[in-house]
């Protein structure tokens, strides 16, 4: 269902990349691609930021980014939030909700046409919104769900891809091995099973996040998780086995209603779990018997694990396959140290500047 969507927008992404060694910002292009593919898959109509944006596409994208930044900022303020003006944020959120509502109305019109007979129906592939509306949810629930998955499908996927390009631009030996396996697979547009059965890809990372690990993607997620911090609130009093006492190794009481914040970034760089080189990008560590367990949670975990996880993982795998089938080398062009910008998800403060060289015959 998503393969055609991924293929279309990944090809647009590849076609916008300068292949003559010119420096470009991979993060900016990844953000555009994932916004295009996510809106296409979720709403049935893409923003087309990579090729031909509609008049509303860029403003809506800007509203989305602004609302995410504001939400993250305000989440840290607690009770101080009530002393801040929020008119601009409210207007931005209102425009986003109206944007989704317009597609809900369009879906209703298409449904009415289909009910009038085959001659009135417009052919329409799989659209997440259409499937969601079959459950007759409330308007508020529908809009909330679409915007939540859009965040997961756009921001976290783009962050993971950007991190991959950052690390792989500094790891030519990993790129070479990956390209060899892509050549062996031979498929121009790989199926999910093809990606799943690529042994090197699966042995590189083995993150244990999903049934089909994302290999190098996992290593990038370990060092640069798209959601670097998160929290949960206890719905009843409980005792955790560790966290109390002067050394943090004794049990600790957590009263009902306590907000417990955790850092996946800190967990995933633990030397106790990942070894003394935990801060290094070394995909081969996952070829051993490493079992990270709850020390690897880039998509969180439990009942409230990220609902867009599989969508994001599949798109990243597909993009990697197509990208390194098209380009034979990737070079870092960052003039300054890596900086991290934190919103609802993490991104690179200064972008990710790289250059590529097209493979022979491409």
State how many domains the chain has.
1
At 253, is the secondary structure helix, strand, or coil?
A: strand
pLDDT of residue 296: 74
* pLDDT interval class at 24 (50, 70, 90): very high
C-alpha dist (Å) from residue 339 to 163, 225, 240, 312, 348? 12, 14, 34, 23, 6
Cβ atoms of residues 27 and 163 within 8 Å: no
Q: Is 362 exposed, middle or buried (0-12, 13-18, 19+ CB in 10 A)?
A: exposed
What average pLDDT is seen over the chain?
81
306 marked among binding-site residues:
yes
pLDDT of residue 361: 67
pLDDT of residue 213: 30
Res. 118: pLDDT tops 70: no
- Of residues 307 and 224, more confidence is placed in 307
pLDDT of residue 299: 72
- Mean pLDDT to the nearest integer, 262-282: 78
Range of the domain at 333: 3-358
- Work out the widest C-alpha separation in the chain, in whole angstroms: 74
pTM equals 0.80
Res. 72: pLDDT tops 50: yes
pLDDT of residue 31: 93
Give the number of other CB atoms < 10 A from CB of residue 119. Answer: 6
- CA angle 258/264/269 to nearest 5° reads 135
Q: In angstroms, rounded to a whole number, what is the distance separating the alpha carbons of residues 55 and 66?
A: 18
Taking only the tens place, the pLDDT of each residue in 175-219 is 998 899 999 998 888 888 888 787 676 645 443 232 223 334 445
pLDDT of residue 237: 96
Q: In angstroms, rounded to a whole number, what is the distance separating the alpha carbons of residues 311 and 58?
A: 23
Identify the DSSP state of 123: P
Percent of the chain beyond pLDDT 90?
32
Query: Which CATH number does the domain housing residue 196 bear?
Result: 1.10.630.10
Cβ atoms of residues 268 and 222 within 8 Å: yes
Q: In angstroms, rounded to a whole number, what is the distance separating the alpha carbons of residues 176 and 329?
A: 8
């Amino acid at each position: 269902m998503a393969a055609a969507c991924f293929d279309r927008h990944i090809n647009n992404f590849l076609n916008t990349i300068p292949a003559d060694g010119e420096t470009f910002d991979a993060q900016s292009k990844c953000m555009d691609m994932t916004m295009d593919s996510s809106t296409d898959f979720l709403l049935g109509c893409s923003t087309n930021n990579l090729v031909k944006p509609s008049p509303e596409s860029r403003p809506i994208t800007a509203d989305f980014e602004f609302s995410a930044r504001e939400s993250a900022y305000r989440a840290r303020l607690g009770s101080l939030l009530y002393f801040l003006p929020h008119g601009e944020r409210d207007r931005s959120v209102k425009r986003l909700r109206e944007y989704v509502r317009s597609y809900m109305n369009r879906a209703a019109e298409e449904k009415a046409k289909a009910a009038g007979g085959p001659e009135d129906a417009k052919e329409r592939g799989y659209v997440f919104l259409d499937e969601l509306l079959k459950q007759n949810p409330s308007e508020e629930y529908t809009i909330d769900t679409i915007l939540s998955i859009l965040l997961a499908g756009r921001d976290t996927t783009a962050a993971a891809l950007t991190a991959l390009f950052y690390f792989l631009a500094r790891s030519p030996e990993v790129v070479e091995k990956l390209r060899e396996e892509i050549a062996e697979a031979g498929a121009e547009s790989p199926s999910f099973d093809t990606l799943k059965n690529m042994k090197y890809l699966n042995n590189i990372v083995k993150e244990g996040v999903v049934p089909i690990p994302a290999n190098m993607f996992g290593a990038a997620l370990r060092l640069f998780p798209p959601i670097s911090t998160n929290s949960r609130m206890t719905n009843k009093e409980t005792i955790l086995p560790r966290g109390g006492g002067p050394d943090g190794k004794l049990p600790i009481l957590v009263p009902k209603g306590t907000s417990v914040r955790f850092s996946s970034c800190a967990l995933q760089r633990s030397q106790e779990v990942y070894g003394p080189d935990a801060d290094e990008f070394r995909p081969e560590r996952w070829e051993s018997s490493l079992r990270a367990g709850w020390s690897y949670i880039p998509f969180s975990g439990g009942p409230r694990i990220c609902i867009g996880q599989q969508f994001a993982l599949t798109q990243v795998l597909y993009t990697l396959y197509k990208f390194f089938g098209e380009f034979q080398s990737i070079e870092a062009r960052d003039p300054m140290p890596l900086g991290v910008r934190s919103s609802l998800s993490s991104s690179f403060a200064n972008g990710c500047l790289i250059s590529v060289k097209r493979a022979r015959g491409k």
